[in-house]
Amino acid sequence: MKRLRDWLQVLEDLLLPPVAPCGLCQEHPSLPLGACQVCLSSLAISWERWEVQGHACFSLFPYQGFGRELVHQMKYHGGYKQAATLGVFLGLAAREEPELAKVDLLVPVPLATGRLEQRGFNQAVVLADNIREVWKRPVCHGVLRIRETESQSGLSSARRKRNVRGAFAVLPGIDVQGKSCLIVDDVITSGNTFGALAQLIQDYGGKPMGIFAGRTKRYKE
């Protein structure tokens, strides 16, 4: 009898695989998409397009409430799982967006080495790696942050611009000439970090665009 029960258990596990926890709250059972209904409702997902310095940018949700919490988890509280889940969401949205069909490369916004050591991972790289999981585009790791910049939060618009000027560099041998490069980051606030990296890509002959999990209203400044 025991053997029969074992077999029944095996069959049951096959038919009803355990449901993974939600990738955003880690509490409720996940829907097939990777997050639970509660999180999806709280996130107020709305795919939005706008332009920063003439470059098309897209994002998934407003940087407020639960969306803001998630960005903070990714940035400051080891929210790797959250970044991975949101990366898949971004990938699913991006592959349905006709304007992004021509993207050649994903370019995650790099972190300075010191900050990377503090945090353990770069949330923009985790986002890009997971975008690639569902939307097959190569991830470029050839852009570096060469200068430690102050944290952007709390700085005035003018200081933010000064803060990111000359902060990035393209490694020798990395060719973005004629390529459509989609800059990936967790959130866009003033748009200055994006603007600085977009300018660099343009200087190297590439065509920059942007994709972000969260957005604030200040990007229009």
Shortest reach from residue 25's CB to Zn ion, in Å: 3
CA dist 212 and 16 (Å) reads 35
Part of the chain binding Zn ion (CB under 5 A), chosen from 14-22, 128-136, 143-151, 211-219: 14-22
**Which residue number, 85 or 192, has a Cβ lying nearer to Zn ion?**
85
Q: Is 142 exposed, middle or buried (0-12, 13-18, 19+ CB in 10 A)?
A: middle
Q: How far is the CB of 89 from Zn ion (least distance, A)?
A: 13
Q: Helix 123-134 crosses helix 80-95 at what angle (to 10 degrees)?
A: 40
For residues 200 and 11, what is the distance between their CA atoms, to the nearest angstrom? 56
- 211 contacts: CB under 8 Å, gap ≥ 6: 57, 58, 59, 90, 94, 100, 131, 182, 183, 184, 185
Which of positions 151-190 make contact with Zn ion (CB under 5 A)?
A: none
Residue in 193, 169, 167, 78 with CA at minimum distance from that of residue 126: 78
User: Smallest distance, Å, CB 64 to Zn ion?
Assistant: 18
Nearest CB to Zn ion, comparing residues 28 and 141:
28
Task: Give me Rg for the CA atoms of the chain.
Answer: 20
Residue 39 or 105: which CB sits closer to Zn ion?
39
Which window, 23-31, 73-81, 148-156, 171-179, contacts Zn ion (CB under 5 A)? 23-31
Does residue 25 bind Zn ion (CB under 5 A)?
yes
Least distance in angstroms from the C-beta of 165 to Zn ion: 39
CB atoms within 10 A of CB 42: 18
User: CA 215, CA 48: separation in Å to the nearest integer?
Assistant: 9
Residue 70 touches Zn ion, criterion: CB under 5 A: no
Q: Within positions 37 to 66, which residues make up the interface with Zn ion, using CB under 5 A?
A: 39
Q: How far is C-alpha 99 from the geometric centre of its chain's CA atoms? A: 18
Q: Which stretch binds Zn ion (CB under 5 A): 35-43, 53-61, 73-81, 121-129?
A: 35-43
Q: Does 22 bind Zn ion (CB under 5 A)?
A: yes
- Is 24 a binding residue for Zn ion by CB under 5 A? The answer is yes
The reply on whether position 88 binds Zn ion by CB under 5 A is no
Q: Which stretch binds Zn ion (CB under 5 A): 28-36, 73-81, 134-142, 197-205?
A: 28-36
Rule CB under 5 A: is residue 36 a binding residue for Zn ion?
A: yes
Could you give the count of Cα atoms lying within 13 Å of 118 in the half-sphere of its Cβ?
Answer: 10
Q: What residues line the site for Zn ion (CB under 5 A)?
A: 22, 24-25, 28, 36, 39
